[in-house]
Amino acid sequence: MVRITRVYTGTGDKGETSLVDGSRRSKADPRIEAVGTCDELNALFGMLHMEVQRLPKHDDGGRRATVQRIQTVVDLVLPRVQSELFDLGAELACPPLKLPEYMVLLGQKQSDALVAEMDAWLEQLEPLTSFILPSGEGPEAVMHLARTVARRLERCVLGLLMHEGEDAVRPLVLVYLNRLSDWLFVFGRWMCACLGNNESLWMPLGKRGPEDGVASLIRKLGQRDEEINNL
């Protein structure tokens, strides 16, 4: 059982912090950057959970079964993955050869669970016909942001490997992170479909409308506002 009675220690006032093995590192160290990015991703999962809970459960007097479906799945998967990210952050906070024997590490089972869930969601989705712009009408917008941070975390771990060598991180960590960002992408698409929202599709140049911008429209709208104010 973890027992924390005080958060502040004062030991990091000079820009250093401790790893799990007690060694000191600069807060700008690549290992600490990876740990911090993992924490950032976990915080986005918390924001995503909040946004899902805010979804209106009734529409036109009737209960929205799709919202209940999303909330049921989110309540089950997000806390699990948040705990896994916490485990991962603790692992990243120490070189593998110095990890305490009592620490339980993520395994293939956790990565396989992400794949199985992706497959289940994909069974209910239409195949992609275009790239998707990172946007959305609901929580899926936060999902896109979490996906990009998951990719950044993956890059941080790769940077750590380049900085400390191939033994700096277990190979399974990169596998898990690669699956996790894909999982977030598919999860976001499934959520968007359940809510009946439209995905924003990328359009090639030449098909997006006027390429010279909307400066003239902005000026016309401004003139119209002035005319209304002068009435």
Q: Is 164 exposed, middle or buried (0-12, 13-18, 19+ CB in 10 A)?
A: middle
Instruction: Express as a percent the part of the chain with pLDDT over 70.
Output: 81
Q: pLDDT value at position 4?
A: 44
Query: Among 3-17, 37-51, 122-136, which is the least confidently predicted range?
Result: 3-17
Assigned fold of 16-205: Hypothetical Protein Ta1238; Chain: A; (1.20.1200)
Q: pLDDT value at position 5?
A: 45
Please tell me the distance from the alpha carbon of residue 146 to that of residue 106, in angstroms, as a whole number.
Answer: 20
Span 91-149, pLDDT tens digits: 998 888 787 788 888 999 999 999 999 999 999 988 878 888 888 777 888 999 999 99
- Tokens describing residue 174: 């990169």
Q: pLDDT value at position 99?
A: 77
Q: What is the mean pLDDT of the chain?
A: 83
For residues 35-42, average pLDDT? 94
Whether the pLDDT of residue 13 is over 70: the answer is no
Please tell me the distance from the alpha carbon of residue 139 to that of residue 40, in angstroms, as a whole number.
Answer: 17
Query: Using H for helix, E for strand and C for coil, what is the string for the chain?
Result: CCCCCCCCCCCCCCCEEECCCCCEEECCCHHHHHHHHHHHHHHHHHHHHHHHHCCCCEECCEECHHHHHHHHHHHHHHHHHHHHHHHHHHHHCCCHHHCCCCCCCCCHHHHHHHHHHHHHHHCCCCCCCCCECCCCCCCHHHHHHHHHHHHHHHHHHHHHHHHHCCCCCCHHHHHHHHHHHHHHHHHHHHHHHHHCCCCCECCCCCCCCCCCCCHHHHHHHHHHHHHHHCC
As a whole number of Å, the CA-based R_g of the chain is: 23
CA angle 160, 162, 166 (to 5 degrees): 90
Count other C-beta atoms under 10 Å from residue 214's C-beta. Answer: 11
Q: Which pTM does this prediction carry?
A: 0.82
Please tell me the distance from the alpha carbon of residue 19 to that of residue 101, in angstroms, as a whole number.
Answer: 15
For residues 60-66, average pLDDT? 63
Instruction: Express as a percent the part of the chain with pLDDT over 90.
Output: 45
Q: Which residues contact 82 (CB under 8 A, 6 or more apart)?
A: 42, 45, 46
Whether the pLDDT of residue 66 is over 90: the answer is no
| Higher per-residue confidence, 148 vs 30 | 148
